[in-house]
Amino acid sequence: MPNEPGEPGTRSKIVVIGTGYVGLPAALMWARSGHLVVGVDIRENLVKAINDRTLLVDEQELNDLLADPVVQSNISARTEPCEGDVFVIAVPTPVDAQRKVADLSYVESSIRSIAPHLKPGNLVVIESTIPPLTTRGLVAGLLEELTGLSVPEDIKLAHCPERILPGDIFREIVENDRLIGGVDETSTKAARELYSAFVTGEMVATDDVSAELAKLMENTYRDVNIALANELSLICEDAGVDAAEVIALANRHPRVSILAPGIGVGGHCIPVDPWFLKEIAPYHSRLITTARLVNDDMPSRIAAKIRRSLSDCHSRRLPRIVAFGATYKKDCEDIRESPALEIVALLERDGYDVTHVDPLVPAMAYDDLGALLTDCDLAVVLVAHRAMTDELRALEADHPATRFLYFDA
């Protein structure tokens, strides 16, 4: 019989499908706790990096973790799954851009890949963010169909959504509370013991559907509040007043806390997860859908504002723009779903001469910030990385012919 995950004195073999932002940190933490861990990824460069002990993630804590002799003795990587005691699915779940529904093809492919290796007593955990009812529906159905085993009598199954922030992965994966959503009490108990190997936050037992919904609610709450701030900023612009000042005035009310407006919403979670709620409840998600549309429209609004700021530029040549910041948020190297990239693409489509730089993105780094401002008509700060913005503000006086626009505080 396989080991019971997390039982004292046992050493489970944990197979992690997907070694990206979510799967890799968890794999390293389980390896440090003494479990035998196999990371599985179709990307051969990631598999090679793990086996060569050279991570491709710029997280010092994770690199230090991989350098630990205990971790190195317990972790390996491969492109195909193998037998194990626990199987953790941590693959992407993007949204179909046309239909605005979840693309679960990576999850389905992962289940199909582990099915030949499953045995009675195994635990399968879904960490990927998924629409409600997916765990007990699609996942459980596929497991039973492909293995001939029963869920949860033979195979334990749980949804334990991740809660991590790129740039602060190590602290968040350890200290954040973890939802443990088993399809039955036995599955919940097994998953809880699995995560007890490294999670110091509270592990909250619930069912799989509640865990699925809670994760989606977290990011939808943030998306709706961002949309409110962005829409209020547009209203302030129409009224001819400074949005930041007016929001600061409104926030003096003891029960009001409006966010700072921005250029849109990026990253892999917030622009995606609200659509999963709309998918299952289209008639009860009108506010959620509107918020998504507001935030998705912000890059075109910002691009239009940049165009207007150049309307009186009488240079004999095409106006030259330098755009600063390409990641989806400040002081983070992640460019997934970045609205800054969309804004620059819109301006380039209009024929503007745009130089796009970001000190946190290796391919977009620069040597001399001052040199970038030479013959620059407009400097646009789309993502205000602290060090970059401080230096840029210090250079403003030296470039009186350059206009400066800051869209990110």
Which domains are present in the chain? 13-208 (3.40.50.720), 310-406 (3.40.50.720)
Question: Is the pTM value of this prediction over 0.85?
Answer: yes
124: nearest Cα among 177, 163, 81: 81
196: nearest Cα among 219, 216, 180: 180
d(CA 43, CA 57): 14
pLDDT greater than 50 at residue 175: yes
Tell me what pLDDT residue 311 has. Answer: 81
Contact 123, 143 (CB under 8 A): no
Tell me what pLDDT residue 326 has. Answer: 95
Per-residue tokens: 340: 């800054």
d(CA 128, CA 107): 8
Tell me what pLDDT residue 64 has. Answer: 85
d(CA 117, CA 114): 5
Phi and psi torsions of 85, nearest 5°: -95, -35
390 C-beta neighbours (distance < 10 Å), count: 10
Strand-strand pairing, 123-126 and 156-159: parallel
Contact 346, 382 (CB under 8 A): no
d(CA 175, CA 25): 13
Alpha carbon distances (Å) from 281 to 129, 181, 194, 274, 406: 17, 21, 33, 11, 38
Q: How confident is the model at residue 3 (pLDDT cuts 50, 70, 90)?
A: very low
Tell me what pLDDT residue 316 has. Answer: 54
Contact 277, 216 (CB under 8 A): yes
- State the average pLDDT over residues 170-194: 94
Contact 35, 72 (CB under 8 A): no
Question: Residue with structure tokens 């250029």?
Answer: 263
d(CA 267, CA 260): 17
Among the listed residues 189, 215, 278, 330, the single catalytic one is: 215
Residue 95, beta-bridge partner list = 102
Q: How confident is the model at residue 50 (pLDDT cuts 50, 70, 90)?
A: very high
Residue 378, beta-bridge partner list = 321, 403
Q: For residue 252, what is the DSSP state?
A: T
- State the average pLDDT over residues 331-337: 88
**What average pLDDT does the chain have?**
92
Among the listed residues 13, 156, 189, 269, the single catalytic one is: 269
pLDDT greater than 80 at residue 369: yes
Q: For residue 328, what is the DSSP state?
A: S
CA dihedral 129, 130, 133, 136 (to 10 degrees): -70
Q: For the chain, give the percent of residues with pLDDT over 70.
A: 95
pLDDT greater than 60 at residue 123: yes
328: nearest Cα among 299, 291, 285: 299
Q: Name the strand (E) or helix (H) holding 16.
A: strand 13-17
| Active-site residue, 236 included | no
| Long-range CB pairs of 43-51, under 8 A, 24+ apart, other chains included | 44/79, 46/19, 46/20, 46/77, 47/19, 47/77, 47/78, 47/79, 48/77, 50/19, 50/24, 50/75, 50/76, 50/77, 51/76, 51/77
d(CA 385, CA 382): 9
The CA angle 259-211-177, to the nearest 5 degrees, is 65
pLDDT digits (tens, 9 = 90+) for 380-389: 999 999 989 9
Amino acid sitting at position 328: Y
266: nearest Cα among 168, 166, 172, 378: 166
Q: For residue 260, what is the DSSP state?
A: P
Per-residue tokens: 125: 């955990």
Tell me what pLDDT residue 184 has. Answer: 98
pLDDT greater than 70 at residue 8: no
| Active-site residue, 100 included | no
Tell me what pLDDT residue 21 has. Answer: 84
195: nearest Cα among 363, 35, 68: 35
- State the average pLDDT over residues 185-198: 97
CA dihedral 72, 78, 81, 86 (to 10 degrees): 20
